Amino acid sequence: MAVEPSNDAQFLQNINQGKVVVKFFADWCGSCKLFAPKFKRLSADERFKGILFVEVNAEQNPEARKQAGVNTLPYFAVYKDGKLVDGLSSSKEEAVVELIQKIV
């Protein structure tokens, strides 16, 4: 499954689509850029079939950032049926996998 871009206008619609993992990033964030191919690979992982992978530019979308409680980048949040389950700031793939498994 591909990673879908989102913004403040689409964010609530995205997170209400069942199981969703969101990556918050900024263009200037080196760790965010390094994690981008890992996030794309995770979106295609069979373990996470049926989960929507979304990315949001945290600087351009303050409402989405506020809703998820983002304070450090990259930041990952998992939602189930529109409700925030958990979130974390990490550059480690293993930590993000553990986070995603909370909504499998």
pLDDT band at 15 (very low <50, low <70, confident <90, very high): very high
Q: Which CATH superfamily is domain 3-103 in?
A: Glutaredoxin (3.40.30.10)
**CB-based contacts of 77, cutoff 8 Å, min separation 6:** 21, 22, 24, 68, 69, 70, 84, 86, 87
% of the chain surpassing 70 pLDDT: 100
Query: Would you kindly state where each structural domain of the chain is located, as residue ranges?
Result: 3-103
Active site residues per annotation: 29, 32
39-75 confidence digits (pLDDT tens)? 999 999 999 999 999 999 999 999 999 999 999 999 9
Q: What is the mean pLDDT of the chain?
A: 96
**pLDDT score of 1 more than 80:** no
Mean pLDDT of the 31-46 span: 97
Hey, what are 50's tokens? 């049926």
